[in-house]
Structure 1
Amino acid sequence: MTTTSSTDPGSGVAEPTSRHIALTETYAAHNYHPLPVVLASGEGAWVRDVEGRRYLDCLAGYSALNFGHGHPRLLARAAGQLQRLTLTSRAFYNDQLGPFAQALAELTGKDMVLPMNSGAEAVETAIKVSRKWGYRVKGVAPGAATIVTMRGNFHGRTTTIVGFSDDPDATDDYGPFTPGFVGVPYGDGGAVAAAIDDTTVGVLFEPIQGEGGVVLPPDGFLRDLRALCTERGVLMIADEIQSGLGRTGRTFACDHEDVVPDVYVLGKALGGGILPVSAIAADREVLGVVRPGTHGSTFGGNPLAAAIGHEVVRMLATGEHQERARVLGERLAAGLRALVGKGLVEVRVRGLWAGVDIDPRLLTGRQVCEALMGRGILAKDTHGSTVRFAPPLVCTEDDIDLLVSALGSVLEEALLSAG
């Protein structure tokens, strides 16, 4: 490990790379296993470490950085609001929330939005609202509401949410868990239909399972699910926290099948990579069940978050970023598919979001990410030999070619080593 110094902006004292890592490992809980790189600055699709090395950021904060690092338009909006008002709490009105709520409602085609902070809070909010809708509107017996979920899901880290995960890393030693959830195989419409009964208030799903490795549902699944939810009188709840807001080449991943869910769950990119901003969007029949005092958040809907979120929605309203993701995604898909049989077993791509399965006889996903880091590419592994790529939507054709070339080199070296 190198020990080249960087300057601590708080003290002016030079700090070696090894010390940054040592301080984090000593004083921050070990709930992550980072690659051994210490990032200090970023611009667009690129970041620099404390030694000045540049890396193409192909994780983009799990899609929170769809518009890249330090987007001038978002920074300007944030800086302007910082000088005016940052927090009031929802005990009072502020002049940023209304325009943001209107813009997001119009983007989603829904009547109302309920703003929160983290993605997990948005999922929790969707769960609470769906249950209250079930009791107040559908007439489910008190305390009996259930929600159908999909196996392989990732919706967040709260105790309620991990309770319906099937990932032991997420669940072990965190129980007991909240009841009221019924899990079915992802993409299995028949299993969803069989799981719905008189207690069901909603079906919670990801249009694309991101943490699972960018897992795409079978063609037609979203359309069939929409029809099923309408027929059976349950809410279709789409977790578009990672897949939404331009990532897949459309505003929402559900758009690929021309499907509109009853509830959108949004986050990550909504905060422009600056603040945690999330929300759910639904029609008045659903969100109208929320009354004063029944749900809230100190920071949800704060003026700074609303200003940034509003600017994100304005940027998406032009369709420019969605189209960019679509076009560059086609280039990414072509490059990655050319590597199938050359170290890759399978490739899944939707817009600028890709999951690749490495031949497990060659390398683990972690080993691939470590090797890519040495070539100036930052990515994230998941589930053994799977690697995810999600470069910012502001990346270039050259950036995509660099990513594909670097991955090809890593695989070629592994194949040569394997004989």
Structure 2
Amino acid sequence: MGNCWFKGNPYFNRVSSNATKSESPKMQSPSEKKEKDDSMLPSNAKEVEELRRESARNPLIAFTFEELKRITKNFRQDSLLGGGGFGRVYKGYITSDLREGLTIEEPLRVAVKVHDGDNSFQGHREWLAEVIFLGQLSHPNLVKLIGYCCEDDHRVLVYEFMPLGSVESHLFSRVMVPLPWFTRMKIALGAAKGLAFLHEAEKPVIYRDFKTSNILLDEEYNAKLSDFGLAKDGPVGDKSHVSTRIMGTYGYAAPEYIMTGHLTAMSDVYSYGVVLLELLTGRKSLDKSRPVREQTLADWAFPMLIQKKKVLGIVDPRLAEDYPVKAVQKTAMLAYHCLNRNPKARPLMRDIVATLEPLQQMEEDPSISLVSGTEV
């Protein structure tokens, strides 16, 4: 499909565009006090690197704002990819003449995410979280952070360029060709591998904002997780959860997290189940334009997921019944388990990966059975 960019299709989106901002806002506890004073956060590249010193595994380039102007042709309108509540994202190119001693494969296409205009504590903290997490994590299903800018009031992130944009922009577009079933399953598997890696990292990470707008695609539809602004370190020792302010996106957030603020890896699994439903049905997680009972996708679809005939009635009609029936039914059952109201009953992400892998080739061999781990 090439570079499928349309003005208004967000490359990154801090507020889900599954509905208007007023309909699907980021959730945040209004009474939450600041955990740290703003003055304690790093205010320049030197301080950022000092903070990264103990955990950094990936070398990052500390760009000056003038260099970013050169990369994006002074942030020209024709370089704009999209935007959201955080700011705007521009495409650009890095060449070795940008700075003496810079060693890169040139010209390197990048996406430049500008946080300018959001100088709040939370905005700064989310920016820093991405620098820290993506500076220490590396996996084929996580977007690669090239560098950042921390200069005066400028907070910018520079990522590898993902030419096909977000899953959201494809799945809900009225002008793009609908994603075929097996492409959707490839995306589901890649995203699951990314989450499984985070959950089983040496220091486990809870993503906290898993949704279709945060899953980006390369030219071969390989899925990569982006936007780690809300990511949190997982519980350690004998702790069962992390207590934190309630943040995320309505329609994707796990019900127990919304009610208690207790965050676990199972919160991500619930969000994964919602995304799996979106891939299955072609519907948005939250859609105020639909009848009241159908507005929240998870609530509406959940009771039908275990009924084989009814499931086929909610499959995305744009697929025109071009899909393997058994694979669809097994995918629906997997979503059902991910959306279990009891978080302890949800499958682990590694078991979800094991379940999805055989479904990738089910058209060729419909007798394939699911591997052990997640019974569906």
Per chain length, whose mean CA-contact separation is higher, i.e. which structure has more relative contact order (CA < 8 Å, sep 6+)?
A: 1
TM over 0.5: no
TM-score, structure 1 length as denominator?
0.23
Structure with larger Rg: 1
State the TM-score, normalized to the length of structure 2: 0.25
